[in-house]
């Protein structure tokens, strides 16, 4: 049981460390789109603070025309 807990803790520590290293180097995403949001040329970097830049942000407003009865 203790080995299983140790493996889980080590896994999360390695995961957080890898995320930190990736953010220190910076992430560039040319385009990402969700149902309600579109981001173009997204840049994320961790310096002394978290830097998030996007060239174009489009927010789609969906209107629900359903009427609850």
Task: Return the domain boundaries, the chain.
Answer: 2-59
pLDDT in tens, 28-56: 999 999 888 999 999 999 999 999 999 99
pLDDT at 6 over 60: yes
For position 1, what pLDDT does the model report?
86
pLDDT at 64 over 70: no
pLDDT at 9 over 60: yes
**Burial of 9: CB neighbours in 10 Å, binned 0-12, 13-18, 19+:** exposed
For position 35, what pLDDT does the model report?
86
Nearest one of 41, 50, 43, 42 to 20, comparing CA atoms:
50
Nearest one of 55, 15, 51 to 32, comparing CA atoms:
55
Residue 69 — very low, low, confident or very high, per pLDDT cuts 50/70/90? very low
């Amino acid at each position: 049981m203790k080995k299983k807990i140790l493996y889980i803790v080590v896994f999360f520590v390695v995961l957080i460390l890898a995320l930190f290293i990736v953010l220190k180097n910076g992430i560039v995403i040319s385009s990402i789109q969700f149902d309600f949001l579109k981001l173009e040329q997204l840049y994320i970097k961790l310096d002394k603070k978290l830097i998030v830049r996007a060239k174009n942000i489009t927010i789609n407003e969906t209107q629900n025309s359903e009427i609850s009865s």
